Amino acid sequence: MMDVVTIGETMILFQPVEEKPLKYTSLFSKTIGGAESNVAIGLSRLGKNTRWIGRLGNDPFGDVILGTLAGENIDISRVIRDKTHHTSVYFKDVYRLGDPSVYYYRKGSATSVWGPEHIQDDWFTGARILHMTGITPALGEKTFAFTKECMKRARHLGLTISFDPNIRFKLWDRDEARKSLLELIPLCDIFLPGLEEAQFLFGHKTPEELGKEIVQLGPHTVAIKLGEDGVFGIGKNGTGVIVPGLKVNKVVDTVGAGDAFASGFLAIVAEDVQQFSLKKALEWGNKMGSIVIQGKGDWEILPSLNEMKDIKEIIR
């Protein structure tokens, strides 16, 4: 049994080794980064059986991504290697604390040519949950159709569908983003937006108002991330739950915080997709997000299950 299947783009990430702006550095570290693979790594470290499905170039960068994910005990058996399109690359400027500047080079990549015709039913066989984000549909009309069909196919096969809008305005304009994401929300069971994302889609309302409106569209569970204020969750019964934010020692790099939240949240959902504890899922998501923002890297400091039990040593 596969607890969670994630589908999406993973890229090679270069970031400066030295504590100086990107344009002045000559030394870079190489790692990987991608919303869905970040979630897969987080879940795997929490003891869940996880599969990542992606489309990579038949190049050394694709080899690095596969080797890294295999080393994290993630099933990569369905990954597609494309001989005519390259693996995506991006650079992160992290010489200041907080939100970094990120520069993507993904045009003509293997992921950008994904279409509904590539989907296979065996991607979802034996799995409980499918998790996707709004990054893949933002790459083009074909990738939007691909994302939509993945969600439909997985639901037909009985999976619970989790969706994080993960809005990137560098990838599409605001009107297109709003229209497309509103089309995908009714196809998911669990919706995981940040407060600003939810307000972009549904107007400037309170988390409670937003949550009640979103569950009317189809999702049975909504978790709205409130940053340092914590998270608000609501289910079909209309009862809202607020979990306060955790005070952290310092904020180093916020990239990957939403993915860390998703991995903690879905780890609890995977225990019983029909009757999971919403409060516990919110708490685990909060803890995971609070840990990952205190170090560099999208996924490297994601905790193991044992480390989660020692959470007081990481967060004060």
Looking at the annotation, which residues are catalytic?
259
Rounded to whole angstroms, the Cα distance separating 64 from 81 reads: 13
Amino acid at 312: K
Question: Which 8-state DSSP code applies to residue 254?
Answer: -
**Residue 49, phi-psi category: left (phi > 0), alpha (psi -120 to 50), beta (remainder):** beta
* Cβ pair 78, 66 in contact under 8 A: no
Q: State whether residue 13 is helix, strand or coil.
A: strand
N- to C-terminal Cα separation, the chain: 37
> Read out DSSP for 202-251?
H-S--HHHHHHHHHTTS-SEEEEE-GGG-EEEEETT--EEEEPPPP-S--
